[in-house]
Structure 1
Amino acid sequence: MTANMLSYLMFNRFQMSTPAYREAKNRLSDMDWNTSVQNLLNWADKGAMQLNKLIPALKKIALQDGANVNVDETWLRYHAYNKKRKTYMWCLVNRKARIVIFFYEDTTDDEGVQKHGGRNRNVLKEFLGDAKIKSLQSDGYNVYMYLDNELMDIEHLCCLAHARTKFKYAFDQGSLQARIFLELIGKLYGMEDTYRRERLTADEIYHRRNSKETTEIIDRIRTELYDLLANPDESRSELMSKALNYLKNFWNQIFAYRNDGEYSIDNMAAERAIRPITVQRKNS
């Protein structure tokens, strides 16, 4: 692989979905790097061939027995036969191994219609294969929650950051009842920051997460949640109702992070990894 080819692949990592002609005409020319569109396309094709040889090795490490993984997905557009199509890119992160893998597969629905870059659970099941991972953390999308028929031993975790964000949206729209949830969740995140600063071991983190102080905070969240659900309020905003229902529906999965000191309180590892795609999509 030439130096120019490698440089282009590294550069293109942060310019996903950008047409080659735009890179050649604008971005690369601004860097005094003059090359043809065909060169960029050839480099990408040759680079993909080399990277495809690396994926199996990375996948073997990322999905080793007992691994804890974070998964997320997002949509993007691509051009095919002079048409714009919608596809889904998936992202799997093994934080301990420091590996991030992006993947997508074409799937077929129940009626035999092919879906380009599908979002159904077959994509994830195909990628995981017979891996014996320990846990899978996500944002609560149903695809992640119903893999048990195939992978009985996986512990499903959801994302406390998603719950916090929903309450933040509700609070910003005037739902003052969301304040207490933001304050209590903020205390849990403050504890996680302390664990990182003190560089605690997984066992120490496990005991701290199950301490009396942590349990009291979570019990307070539960009490506030069920008090509000037991007293419907017609003036309650839709955003607040969604935040309460998300917390209730995924309660066990959200607080399953307490079951192991190596688990994460949220799914931000995958969220951060996939963010360049979402940013590029919005900018485009």
Structure 2
Amino acid sequence: MTTRPSTPSSDDIHSLKALLLEKDKRISLLEAQVRLLRHKRFAASSEKSDGQAELFNEAEAAEPVPEDDLDENTDDAETETIQYERRKSRGRKSLPADLPHVRIEHDLADADKVCECGCALTHIGEDTSEQLDIIPATVHVLVHARLKYACKACESTVRTAALPAQPIPKSNASAGLLAYIATAKYHDALPLHRQEAIFKRMEIDIPRNTLANWMMRSGELIAPLIAQLDSELRSGKIIQCDETPLQVLNEPDRPASSQSYMWVRRSGAPDHSIVLYDYAPSRAGSVAEKLLKDFSGYLQTDDYAGYHAVGRKDDISHVGCWAHARRKFVDAQKAGTSKDKKTTRIGKADVAISYIAKLYAIEKQAKDASSETRRQLRQEKSVPIFSALREWLDKTLHSTLPKGLLGTALGYLNKNWEKLVAYTEDGDVNIDNNLAENAIRPFVIGRKNWLFSATPRGAHASAAIYSLIETAKANGLEPYAYLREVFARLPSISSDDELQALLPWNVSLV
């Protein structure tokens, strides 16, 4: 006798439906993550949005957007600028007029200076064209001849002229050579082993360990100047921070595979730009507290928790970064894009990106304005956008899964709202943390070439030299010329006034 299968109860059916729904959500989340990873792996890395996303009418109808909000200011300001500059830069640029010019004349042969009618041709002008020529770097030896004097009468006194203070005592490295090596490594990302090979082509034998030792000694030499820049940075009213991983092989009590960090602080104010790198074996909040000790003012960072304790201090106003907030919506937008762009729906990520684009358009409008004018413009135009965005955010949060990419972006915006709108308080504060991110990029590029630091001493030296080079660049100075001046003058400096004169905005380079 066969038995009939029992009919599932209503509770079992509800449980199965709930399980299937949960699995569907999980599958949708994984599919979005796969689309995003594929986009990052194979597509362009630009965060530029599709044009139709700027003219949104949200498909999900979470909230209709007022028509007066959909104007030309919705376009992404950064994208417009890039396109305009590209159009403008087409064609060959003229060579710098201050470069030495060598005239090479090309004349007709005497037989060609006679006309077919028999008359001599008269010189009426010339046609010129320019070529850029490069003579490889020349190396010469500086011979320091210290004159000696003696008394012939008593033959007991001998005096020799003193040798000026040198960057590295008892070394054959001049200030110019040290500046050349440092610029090549820390500005041009040329590792020391490649520089060693270049010197060998010049028939000069400088082992790589000697080059490394010179860089470490150079980093120690400029320590007083770095300390002065650090004091100037902490006394300002705005500091932007960021950090990036660094591997140090021979660190006490740590395996070679351990991950250390290079921290970057940059002044956010337009005058006296300062960029400082600091090596630390960890990413702990205690490092941020140490680097920002005695600072009071605006601290602008991403949402890394290591900055939260410092940001909660009474004398510090913690400001967020709209570039990070936008980036998360861009990721959600990329992950939600269908293969057929004609059928791509304009969704919630597009709405957020369009609101943020309008904030950046206002910043573009106020780019060359005074601090107070910029603050007033933000209060008049940016604050109303915040009100509309906040109202949309409150409604959208409740209709979006929190674990998805869009939910993560919305959660980031909601969590950091107070910090994100704080930049409107002061016209000198930036809308994002991009200055610090741009400052850390040269280090990241260099790290791809030299990969790691051998010792903490080398990492500290690299941080100091990077600081000097990037600060010089931020103040419009050519790095090699500035480093050469610093290495030449710093060994003989004995007063604070002389040290102040070496700061990038005070030094005069010929």
- TM-score band w.r.t. shorter chain: 0.7 to 0.9
User: Runs of 5+ in structure 2 lacking a partner?
Assistant: 1-166, 168-173, 338-346, 452-510
The one-letter code matched in structure 2 to 1:24 is: E
Rounded to whole Å, the distance in 2 between the matches of 1:69 and 1:29 is: 43
The match for 1:40 is 211
Q: Percent identity?
A: 28
RMSD: 2.5
The answer (yes or no) to whether the contact 1:170–1:237 under 8 Å persists in 2 is no
For the structure 1 residues 163 and 47, does the alpha-carbon distance in structure 2 shift closer, same or farther, using more than 3 Å as the test? same
Deviation track 1:85-141 (CA, whole Å, cap 9, x = no partner) reads 311110000133200000123xxxxxxxxxxx111111121222223x211000011
State how 1:126-205 maps to structure 2 within 5 Å.
126-131=290-295, 133-147=296-310, 151-174=313-336, 176-196=347-367, 199-205=368-374
Which of 278, 287, 293 is the matching residue for 1:103? 278
Q: CA deviation at 1:15?
A: 6.0
State how 1:177-256 maps to structure 2 within 5 Å.
177-196=348-367, 199-211=368-380, 213-233=381-401, 238-256=404-422
Rounded to whole Å, the distance in 2 between the matches of 1:224 and 1:28 is: 62
Q: CA deviation at 1:29?
A: 6.4
Rounded to whole Å, the distance in 1 between the matches of 2:416 and 2:290 is: 25
Rounded to whole Å, the distance in 2 between the matches of 1:148 and 1:67 is: 14
Instruction: Please say which structure displays the higher CA radius of gyration.
Output: 2
Q: CA deviation at 1:242?
A: 1.0
Deviation track 1:235-274 (CA, whole Å, cap 9, x = no partner) reads x872111110100000000110011111110000100001
Please say if 1:20 is aligned against 2:167: no
Higher relative contact order (CA 8 A, sep 6+): 2
The match for 1:87 is 260
- Name the structure where helix makes up a greater proportion of residues: 1
The one-letter code matched in structure 2 to 1:221 is: L
Rounded to whole Å, the distance in 2 between the matches of 1:93 and 1:30 is: 39
Q: CA deviation at 1:279?
A: 3.2
The one-letter code matched in structure 1 to 2:362 is: M
Count of matched residue pairs: 263
The match for 1:69 is 239
For the structure 1 residues 242 and 281, does the alpha-carbon distance in structure 2 shift closer, same or farther, using more than 3 Å as the test? farther
Q: CA deviation at 1:77?
A: 1.6
Rounded to whole Å, the distance in 2 between the matches of 1:31 and 1:180 is: 60
The match for 2:430 is 264
For the structure 1 residues 208 and 15, does the alpha-carbon distance in structure 2 shift closer, same or farther, using more than 3 Å as the test? same
Q: TM-score, normalised by structure 1?
A: 0.84
Q: TM-score, normalised by structure 2?
A: 0.48
For the structure 1 residues 225 and 23, does the alpha-carbon distance in structure 2 shift closer, same or farther, using more than 3 Å as the test? farther
Deviation track 1:31-56 (CA, whole Å, cap 9, x = no partner) reads 99863212311211221111212111
User: Runs of 5+ in structure 1 lacking a partner?
Assistant: 106-116
Rounded to whole Å, the distance in 1 between the matches of 2:418 and 2:201 is: 52
Rounded to whole Å, the distance in 1 between the matches of 2:406 and 2:353 is: 12
For the structure 1 residues 228 and 148, does the alpha-carbon distance in structure 2 shift closer, same or farther, using more than 3 Å as the test? closer
